[in-house]
Structure 1
Amino acid sequence: MKKKLWILPLLIGILLIGGAVGLVVYNMYESNAAFEKSQDVMAELKQLIPDPSPASVTTEASTEPPSDDLFAPYEEPSTQPPSEMRSVNVGGEEYCGYITLPQLGLELPVMNGWSYDRLKMSPCKYSGTIEGRDIIIAAHNYNSHFGRIKELSQGDEIWFTDADGMQYFYRVGYTENIDGYDIDHMLGGGSSDWDLTLFTCTLSGQSRVTVRASLEEEEK
């Protein structure tokens, strides 16, 4: 009987490894599906949005209320109210523009307002505006979306092209991890410490990888 006791831990180990492999495969499938969807939207957006031209910004306070949470674990899904940023409709969804991350080789559409279902398709505007210099954009941690933003370094460029074809140039200032429930920290500092924020969940889901960037004042 004792000789067979080793079989149980072996079987448990095999099941755990199989579950982990299955999870990785599923995440890869979701990431690829999200990337294909976002690139289909990008193709349509570029037909609807004028060719990019450099833009200047004057500061206006944002009146948009913050979200209930930062996609905190175990919270009920919530939907961000529509913002005052102009948008274009693609496939029944409103997009306020698209974001380009040259260092990561990514160009992705940005939905004008967020929900959990929308995040499966595209990065979403979480709060703020370009004019308010406090825009926050969130996305899932798929490698095809924001899963690699932790690789961005100080001085790296981020471009945002709005629905009118106006292009804004930002440079990464710093990266930080923010607790999944710390809304005040996420929203704090806009227009004074940073002008654009990108964030996504860590693998544990307990905190948010957050990239802060400042607007380049000079036109390119």
Structure 2
Amino acid sequence: MKKTWGICCIAIGTALLISALSIVLYNMSQDKSGGAAAKEILVELEKEIPETESSGNSEKSDLFSEYEATQQDEPTVEIGGQTYIGMISIPSLQLELPVLSQWSYPNLKLSPCRYKGTAAGGDLIVAAHNYRSHFGRISELNSGDEIIFTDADGKVYAYETIQTETIVGKDIASMEFGADEEWDISLFTCTLGGQSRVTVRAVLISDQG
């Protein structure tokens, strides 16, 4: 009896290990394919966005399913039937990614997406999957780290990170307004459990173009 029970425990343990390994391998595959898709899009996007000459001017239930995105008046570029508002760069994480105009679950598998707002309006919120090739490492950003957004017309917005916070998945007001509204761009991604959102806030330090 003890021998049979021991064999059953080993079999169950083996099955659980195989299941866990399958999940890890699936996530790695999704991360790899998401990163590859974003790189391909970025190559095409960089061809479409004009280079900017510096002007020296400066100015200062589920979260996704419960927010109804609104159309924004802003420059866009169409590539492969998808509409992009520009690209985002995070030098300290060595990331450069395209940003889709509207979020959807299929779109999030390709690249970061505009969740709400615009760079020109000072209220841009960008969402992405927690793939390491997308926003999986934004929790590593420190105060003062630079975030750069280049819109479809080639205008460059440079931001400085001021804080990182974790927001409950259904707390739309906190995502939209934050603690004090003193930010111009937010980046967010799901935590590993998917119940909360790691959110990075940054303020505009210059715009050019």
Q: Under a length normalisation based on structure 2, what TM-score does the superposition of the two structures give?
A: 0.91
Matches within 5 A, 1:135-150: 135-150=124-139
CA–CA distance in structure 2, aligned partners of residues 216 and 98 of structure 1: 18
Instruction: Give the direction of change, closer, same or farther, for the CA distance of 1:157–1:24 in structure 2 (3 Å limit).
Output: same
Where do 4+ consecutive residues of structure 1 move more than 6 Å? none
Aligned 8 A contact 1:58 1:131 in 2: no
| Counterpart position of 1:70 | 63
CA–CA distance in structure 2, aligned partners of residues 186 and 114 of structure 1: 15
| Counterpart position of 2:109 | 120
Post-superposition offset of 1:15: 1.1
Aligned 8 A contact 1:125 1:136 in 2: yes
Look up the SS of the partner of 2:18 in the other structure. helix
Runs of 5+ in structure 1 lacking a partner?
Answer: 60-67
In the alignment, does 2:13 pair up with 1:13? yes
Post-superposition offset of 1:217: 4.0
Runs of 5+ in structure 2 lacking a partner?
Answer: none
Give the stretch that moved more between structures: 181-190 or 161-170.
181-190
Q: Under a length normalisation based on structure 1, what TM-score does the superposition of the two structures give?
A: 0.87
| Counterpart position of 1:24 | 24
CA–CA distance in structure 1, aligned partners of residues 68 and 22 of structure 2: 30
| Counterpart position of 1:130 | 119
Instruction: Give the direction of change, closer, same or farther, for the CA distance of 1:125–1:53 in structure 2 (3 Å limit).
Output: farther
Matches within 5 A, 1:48-197: 48-54=48-54, 56=57, 69-71=62-64, 80-189=69-178, 192-197=181-186
CA–CA distance in structure 2, aligned partners of residues 108 and 54 of structure 1: 22
CA–CA distance in structure 2, aligned partners of residues 218 and 51 of structure 1: 14
Post-superposition offset of 1:14: 1.0
CA RMSD of aligned residues (A): 2.2
- 1:104-161 deviations in Å (ceiling 9; x for gaps): 1110000011111100101000001112211000000000000000111110000000
Report the residue type matching 1:186 in the other structure.
M
Instruction: Give the direction of change, closer, same or farther, for the CA distance of 1:184–1:5 in structure 2 (3 Å limit).
Output: same
Look up the SS of the partner of 1:200 in the other structure. strand
CA–CA distance in structure 2, aligned partners of residues 151 and 194 of structure 1: 18
Aligned 8 A contact 1:104 1:148 in 2: yes
Look up the SS of the partner of 2:187 in the other structure. strand
Report the residue type matching 1:16 in the other structure.
L
Post-superposition offset of 1:80: 3.3
Instruction: Give the direction of change, closer, same or farther, for the CA distance of 1:6–1:205 in structure 2 (3 Å limit).
Output: same
Percent identical: 47
CA–CA distance in structure 2, aligned partners of residues 196 and 172 of structure 1: 9
CA–CA distance in structure 2, aligned partners of residues 21 and 146 of structure 1: 23
- 1:72-110 deviations in Å (ceiling 9; x for gaps): xxx69x873432221000000000000001011110000
Number of positions where the alignment pairs a residue of Structure 1 with one of Structure 2: 207
Report the residue type matching 2:83 in the other structure.
E
